[in-house]
Copies of this chain bind each other. A is one copy, B any other.
């Protein structure tokens, strides 16, 4: 019944399971399955697309099934939500991080290529620090931040004139 994922994904899942274990968090079969679907996807994936895939082996799955799993994974820092896409991506850093006993939100930045749809995840501490500093100057203390940019990745910037008209 356990879903089959790529070798890389299975490896990350094992790491995630170990991390959760040490934290006292319960990475159940369902949660592991959803995390596998997210990690295995080539790009950020919507909740309902994950649901469709989940249903291939878990007949009764409904929206709350996948949203509850995602909530858990978000709390554990194993996935991120990309606000601009209403979609979810695996957090490799989260899956390989040393456990710290508490859930901890990785300060990540996402670069979304408008051309190919790929998402680059950065963990640039300087960016977070500068934002935190600016907020502090405004008397504001940050608990979590969303930093996302849309633009062109290096590959797509190099191609033709920007838009995908290689077929012309």
List the interface of chain A (C-beta within 8 A of B).
Answer: 83-84, 109, 111, 113-114, 120, 122, 124, 126-127, 130-131, 134-135, 138-154, 157
Contact B143 A131, beta carbon cutoff 8 Å = no
Give the CA-CA distance A5 to B58 in the complex, in Å: 54
Q: Is there contact, CB below 8 Å, between A140 and B153?
A: yes
Q: Is the CB of B134 within 8 A of A145?
A: no
B148, A146: Cβ atoms closer than 8 Å: yes
Contacts of A138 in B (CB 8 A): 111, 120, 122, 154
If the complex has contacts A127-B131, A130-B130, are A151 and B143 also in contact, measured as CB distance less than 8 A?
yes
A148 to B148, CA, bound (A): 9
Given contacts A84-B83, A147-B147, whether A152 and B131 have CB atoms under 8 Å apart is: no
Say whether A111 contacts B126, CB under 8 Å: no
Which chain B residue lies CB-closest to A157? B141
In the complex, the answer to whether B134 meets A141 with C-beta atoms within 8 Å is: no
Q: A127-B130, A134-B127 are in contact. Are A151 and B146 (CB under 8 A)?
A: no
Bound-state CA distance A16–B106 (Å) is 40
B143/A146 in contact, CB under 8 A: no
* Pairwise interchain contact B151-A141, C-beta atoms closer than 8 A: yes
Contact at A111–B83, with CB atoms within 8 Å? no
Bound-complex Cα distance A167 to B90 (A): 41
Closest chain-B Cβ to A133's Cβ sits at a distance in Å of 9
Whether the Cβ atoms of B114 and A140 lie closer than 8 Å is no
Interchain Cβ contacts under 8 Å between A and B, 22 examples: A83-B84, A83-B146, A84-B146, A109-B134, A111-B140, A111-B142, A120-B138, A120-B140, A122-B135, A122-B138, A127-B130, A139-B153, A139-B157, A140-B152, A140-B153, A140-B154, A141-B151, A141-B152, A145-B147, A146-B149, A147-B147, A147-B148
